[in-house]
Amino acid sequence: MEVDEHTQAATHLILGHALSRLNDPKGAGEQYIKATQLAPYLGTSWLALAQLQRESGQPNRAVDTLRAGAQAAPESPKYTWPWAKLTWTIGKVTGTQR
């Protein structure tokens, strides 16, 4: 049985969440990146990766991830508010908020 890219990406996203809960940010990040590569149109993968980067003390990298996600998944309007909220939070941390 062949599994489509969407299902594979969702599997990597779920595995990333599990690894994050198990306090393995490196492993979680690797899974989130695989998810974004397999199905770049899934906004949840980009958002999870950016959140992890922010929590790992990499706010600038998180902003870059959010930008990439917004470009790759522009038709994901339900993620607009979480992206905006995370970007605003990161801006407060990095001093780039306007």
Q: Render pLDDT for 41-76 as a digit per residue (tens, 0 to 9).
A: 888 899 999 999 989 999 889 888 988 988 887 776
Decide: 66 and 34 in contact? Cβ < 8 Å: no
- Radius of gyration for the alpha carbons in the chain, expressed in angstroms and rounded: 13
pLDDT of residue 97: 47
User: How sure is the predictor about 98, in pLDDT bands with cuts at 50, 70 and 90?
Assistant: very low
Does residue 89 have a pLDDT over 80?
A: no
Domains of the chain, CATH where assigned = 5-94 (1.25.40.10)
The larger pLDDT score, comparing residue 44 to residue 88, is at: 44
